[in-house]
Amino acid sequence: MVVFRTNGIVARLVRDFQAERHCITNTLPYDRSHSTVIRLMRRFWKNYRERHLHPGNQLFHLVGLPVTFILPIHFLVWHKQYPASWALIAFVVGYVLQFIGHAIEGNDAGELILMKRCLGRPYVEFGPRHPSRISKSPTET
């Protein structure tokens, strides 16, 4: 019987392989729980909730968003017998509803914030209902 002496070479190779695999799997850029898309969606949703606290604003967005984005596609794709101007009218009416909602909330709409920020103009990101805008009473300090 022939006995091969490995002097721990195999054990060392296994350890090196495991260490390398551990290093690679821990540095992969794609991790389902922390992917860029999920982080962006969470940040968007958090910002959206903070800027739409008033029930009136929520109601106008509940109606305005589908009118802005779904109804124009509906007119352009499935009901071609209607003129394209109907899609444009639906888009504008939906945006007007959303702007009314932001007027009720007391803040600027996201599109206005973007334009004002680019132009260096002042803007109102959060309305008076936002926790950061509510003054605390002296007993809450």
**pLDDT tens-digit map of 82-112:** 888 999 999 999 999 999 999 999 999 989 9
**pLDDT tens-digit map of 65-85:** 999 999 999 999 988 888 889
Q: Report H helices in the chain.
A: 9-26, 36-51, 55-73, 84-105, 110-119
- Which residues fall within 8 angstroms of residue 46, CB to CB, at 6 or more apart? none
